[in-house]
Amino acid sequence: MPDPSCAIQGNSDLYGLGIRIGIYSQWVSSWLRIVLDPRSAEEVHGVNAVFVLAVLVGTIIAHRDGNVRLVEVHIMLQELGRQPARGLPWCSGSSTGARSPASSPPGRRGPLMSAPGRLYAQTVRPRARFRSCLEAEADPRRASARARPLDVLAGVKSEHLSWLGVLWRVVIANILVAFNIFTWFRMSKDAEADTPCGLPTVFLFSKLPLDQQVVNLFRAASVIAGIYSLQMCILLLLCAGFMAGIILLCVLRQQLRRQVTKRAKVVETLDSAILYLMAVRRYMFMGDSEQVLLAEEGSVFLMMVACIQIVIFGIEFVQSDTISFSAIMGIIISFLSPGTHKVTRNEGVDERGAPSSRDYKVMVTVSGILTFGVVAFFIASIELTIIWNDITGVNVVRDTGQLIPFTIGCMSLCQALKGIAIMLLKKMFPSWDTQEVKVEYLEGGRIQLGIVHVEAMQLLEVRSIRTTEGSNSTRHS
């Protein structure tokens, strides 16, 4: 019999029964929808990310006002942490839009975790490489993909997702990871004083008190998650920064072309000025010995040279008919739209050891089973933590704040189950997939409904064409 004095009055606005059921339903429905219809991944991940951001902001505000205990924040982190946890290597995807190498198609497994140094070197390489790529490629979108490691990052991004959507979902995941680290390194110092009857109890494959050892384990897990998500966030931000710089240079180049009438003369003058200044800076001949002395590099001089080079680069970026304003808008739209950067093979990746289709199916199956196991683990962790710590007032759906997420989650789950039912019925009755409803409007306002077999209609059209051709040939003869 639990002691009534040890009961904790819970916050139903954060983790009430309706909110919890809505979140659980959203987990299952999102996974089912992506499995059944991968093209809906952008929409599903976008809705999940907005949901996570809203709950995360509410949790941070409640913590700022001092209305939540450590065990309650732990419950909220379990609800929110399920989303980025799906990005870990044993799961098939995440709300951030990044998927694991196990679920990536064969030949598209980018070495994101194996060679971060090489990716970083590609990202900060000098502009000469990017300029040569853009000059050799008329399409700026393809040239930008060559110049930056988007082809390597494509191994962890579904082709049905947009790069901009992946970027902002990764940023949300990093905010969540940062709050997780803050919780276990700052709030956990007074865990025993946070509850009326000693240390709270949490679920970690068994019933454990939230002592220093468990806190240290959570700290280590939060740091590991931070390293994983921060690396991807930095790479994506560097790529986004490069693309923003390229677009800005394109706009500046176009404006310079409008303002500068004698382009060739200006470029020639700037080129000669840079060569002269570089020669004066680097070499100083003294007497007949022609002794070379290196001059000191001044920051003012380097800034002046850099500004002149930027102007030249802006004017001579590419030919006048290569990148226009419409092409710049095409770059922006391509990063807003899913499926515009499809890479089938990564340069420098040895595919001789790529798994076969059978191994790929096995990995996807195992990944799906583990995903279901992770969902079950988080649900058990949240519910058992509420029961063991005697948290009251959160097991009844009463107010509107719980009904809204409850309704949204249940409707999403019903839509996913409807998709499964339709898919199974089409497999059981293949003829149903070839039938369409035909609606005809007749005289007198009557409406006639009929079921038409698509294959039979196509065969009838072919026969009618052949009959017409035969009659025409008979007439000509």
Residue-wise pLDDT for 413-453, tens only, equals 888 888 888 888 878 877 766 767 777 777 777 777 666 66
> What does the pLDDT look like over 187-240, one tens digit per residue?
766 655 556 677 888 888 888 888 888 888 888 888 888 887 787 777 777 777
- List phi, psi (to 5°) of 91: -120, 170
| Residue tagged 């009904």 (tokens) | 403
β-bridge partners, 451: 437
Domain boundary among 229, 264, 299: 264
* Whole-number Å distance between alpha carbons of 149 and 134: 15
Q: 462 or 441: which carries more pLDDT confidence?
A: 441
Q: 254 or 477: which carries more pLDDT confidence?
A: 254
* Whole-number Å distance between alpha carbons of 63 and 86: 25
Task: Give the strand pairing for 391-392 and 8-9.
Answer: parallel
**Cα–Cα–Cα angle for 205, 208, 211, rounded to 5 degrees:** 135
Domain of 159 in residue numbering reads as 8-86+151-264
Domain boundary among 264, 296, 314: 264
CA 263 to chain centre: 43
170 within some domain: yes
- For the ranges 167-171, 293-297, 344-348, the lowest mean pLDDT is seen at 293-297
Query: Helix, strand or coil for residue 349?
Result: coil
Q: According to the model, what pLDDT value does residue 203 have? A: 85
Q: Token digits for 40?
A: 């809906």
* Whole-number Å distance between alpha carbons of 222 and 216: 10
Is 70 within 8 Å of 59 (Cβ atoms)?
Answer: no
Q: What string of DSSP letters covers 359-391?
A: HHHHHHHHHHHHHHHHHHHHHHHHHHHHHHTTE
Q: Give the number of other CB atoms < 10 A from CB of residue 97.
A: 29
Residue 84 has pLDDT above 60, yes or no: no
Is 229 within 8 Å of 87 (Cβ atoms)?
Answer: yes
Instruction: Report which DSSP code applies to 66.
Output: T
Residue 90 has pLDDT above 70, yes or no: no
Q: 95 or 254: which carries more pLDDT confidence?
A: 254
**249, amino acid identity:** L
Query: Helix, strand or coil for residue 209?
Result: strand
Mean pLDDT in the chain? 66
Q: According to the model, what pLDDT value does residue 464 have? A: 44
Q: Which helix (H) or strand (E) holds 470?
A: helix 454-476
61 within some domain: yes
Q: According to the model, what pLDDT value does residue 264 have? A: 54
Residue 332 has pLDDT above 50, yes or no: yes
Residue 126 has pLDDT above 50, yes or no: no
Q: Which residues, 6+ apart, have CB-to-CB distance to 463 below 8 Å?
A: none
Domain boundary among 264, 280, 308: 264
* Whole-number Å distance between alpha carbons of 151 and 148: 8
Cα-trace Rg, the chain: 31
Percentage of the chain surpassing pLDDT 70? 49
Q: According to the model, what pLDDT value does residue 459 have? A: 45
146 within some domain: no
* Whole-number Å distance between alpha carbons of 227 and 222: 9
Q: According to the model, what pLDDT value does residue 141 have? A: 45
**381, amino acid identity:** S
Q: According to the model, what pLDDT value does residue 271 have? A: 59
pLDDT band at 463 (very low <50, low <70, confident <90, very high): very low
Q: According to the model, what pLDDT value does residue 268 have? A: 58
The overall pTM is greater than 0.95 = no
* Domains held by the chain: number: 2
| Rounded mean pLDDT, 20-28 | 86
- List phi, psi (to 5°) of 96: -75, -10
CA dihedral 49, 55, 59, 61 (to 10 degrees): 90
Q: According to the model, what pLDDT value does residue 199 have? A: 80
Q: According to the model, what pLDDT value does residue 354 have? A: 46
Residue 383 has pLDDT above 70, yes or no: yes
Q: According to the model, what pLDDT value does residue 259 have? A: 61
144 burial via Cβ count (<10 Å: 0-12, 13-18, 19+):
buried
* 45-49 contacts at long range (C-beta below 8 A, 24 or more positions apart): 45/93, 45/94, 45/95, 45/96, 45/97, 45/161, 45/165, 45/169, 46/165, 46/169, 48/83, 48/95, 49/83, 49/95, 49/96, 49/168, 49/169, 49/172
Q: 260 or 23: which carries more pLDDT confidence?
A: 23
175 within some domain: yes
* Whole-number Å distance between alpha carbons of 280 and 30: 65
80 within some domain: yes
